[in-house]
Amino acid sequence: MQTLSSNASFGGIQHVIQHPSTSCNCDMTFGLFLPEEARDGPVPVLWFLAGLTCTHENAMTKAGAQAWAAEQGIALVFPDTSPRGDSVADDDAYDLGKGAGFYVDATQEPWAANFQMWQYLSQELPDLLAAHFPLDMARQAITGHSMGGHGALTLAMRLPGRFASVSAFAPIAHPTASDWGRKQLTAYLGTNEASWQPHDATLLMREAGFDGPVLIDQGTDDQFLDLLMPEALSEAMAKRRQPGSFRMQPGYDHSYFFIASFMEEHVNFHADALWSI
């Protein structure tokens, strides 16, 4: 591993770290915020998965999460959204290829050689964090924005017992029925739609739900509402009687101004779940 930067932040340290990834067959970069309490021993972990076109840096610098995480004594992990490098396949469109990994393990060419984001986030990066940093991996929670909200919800529901809580900001809620999903799932996983279903939060909610609390925030003025399909996930949560909240926030759009406005509530929501374990 190589530490690219370390900055004091709210009494803790914000690191940016690069490492060779066996899953993605390239160097991967992530941000890690360690609160002051990490100097004395392992602390709980909150993951933030970012959206289309983003890197590890967007939420790390724009969400304002460090202040609230420091107050609660929890760490933050900001992974990248896709593999990177000159040898990694890409597409001219912003919503496919680099910056658009969709948190799946690609089976189709040219993506399969590097786009193994599910494996990377569900196994490789957690193992690396557990081995090298003062993190209490028995206390994990996860959140994300847009494509990252899709990733957070699917990881949480498909890995029962891993996360104490899950939240999302404007998630891509029903990708198997949306142009933000069908295009990418076809490219990465092929045309057999049965292989898409484990990566659809609405379908997972209908089938199994989540074994903990859920918090979803969606802006009413989001310019991508038709692509996100929040009503599908809301209906699935209501039908399953899933513990949690689905909140439509008046006047908010898809930007990080929206995320920063509610970040404190999300961090506190996860801290309550993490410290109750």
Query: Are 141 and 163 contacting, i.e. CB atoms less than 8 angstroms apart?
Result: yes
Mean pLDDT over 27-39 rounds to 98
User: Which residue out of 199, 254, 266, 270 is catalytically annotated?
Assistant: 254
Give me 194's structure tokens. Answer: 């049965």
Q: Which of these, 204, 207, 184, 214, lies nearest to 51 by C-alpha position?
A: 184
Task: Establish whether 270 is a catalytic residue.
Answer: no
Q: Which amino acid is at 198?
A: P
Task: Establish whether 254 is a catalytic residue.
Answer: yes
Phi-psi region of 251 (alpha: psi -120 to 50; beta: other; left: phi over 0): left
Question: DSSP E strands: which ranges in 145-194?
Answer: 166-169
Cα 116 from Cα 150, distance rounded (Å): 16
> How does DSSP classify residue 241?
T
* Long-range interactions of 60-64: CB distance < 8 A, separation 24+: 60/14, 60/16, 60/31, 60/33, 62/256, 62/259, 62/260, 63/256, 63/259, 63/260, 63/263, 64/260, 64/263, 64/264
Query: Are 102 and 151 contacting, i.e. CB atoms less than 8 angstroms apart?
Result: yes
Query: Are 252 and 221 contacting, i.e. CB atoms less than 8 angstroms apart?
Result: yes
User: Which residue out of 21, 23, 146, 234 is catalytically annotated?
Assistant: 146
Residues with Cβ within 8 Å of 113's Cβ and at least 6 positions away in sequence, in order, are 25, 89
The sign of the CA dihedral 251, 254, 260, 262 is: positive
Antiparallel, parallel or unpaired: β 12-21 and 2-9: antiparallel
> How does DSSP classify residue 50?
-
Task: Establish whether 266 is a catalytic residue.
Answer: no
pLDDT band at 124 (very low <50, low <70, confident <90, very high): very high
Q: Which tens digits make up the pLDDT trace of 133-158? A: 999 999 999 999 999 999 999 999 99
pLDDT of residue 175: 98
pLDDT band at 31 (very low <50, low <70, confident <90, very high): very high
Mean pLDDT over 244-255 rounds to 98
Q: Phi first, then psi: what are they for 274, rounded to 5°?
A: -65, -45
pLDDT of residue 190: 98
User: Which residue out of 80, 200, 217, 222 is catalytically annotated?
Assistant: 222
Q: What percent of the chain is modeled with pLDDT above 90?
A: 100
Helices marked H in 65-167: 65-72, 117-119, 125-132, 147-158
Buried b or exposed e, range 179-192, using 16+ CB within 10 angstroms? ebbebbbebbbeee
Mean pLDDT over 117-142 rounds to 98
pLDDT band at 8 (very low <50, low <70, confident <90, very high): very high
Whether residue 42 has a cis bond before it, omega within 30° of 0? no
Q: Which tens digits make up the pLDDT trace of 209-243? A: 999 999 999 999 999 999 999 999 999 999 999 99
The domains of the chain, with CATH numbers, are: 2-275 (3.40.50.1820)
Place of tokens 């898809």: 254
pLDDT band at 57 (very low <50, low <70, confident <90, very high): very high
Say how many C-beta atoms besides its own lie within 10 A of residue 277's C-beta. 11
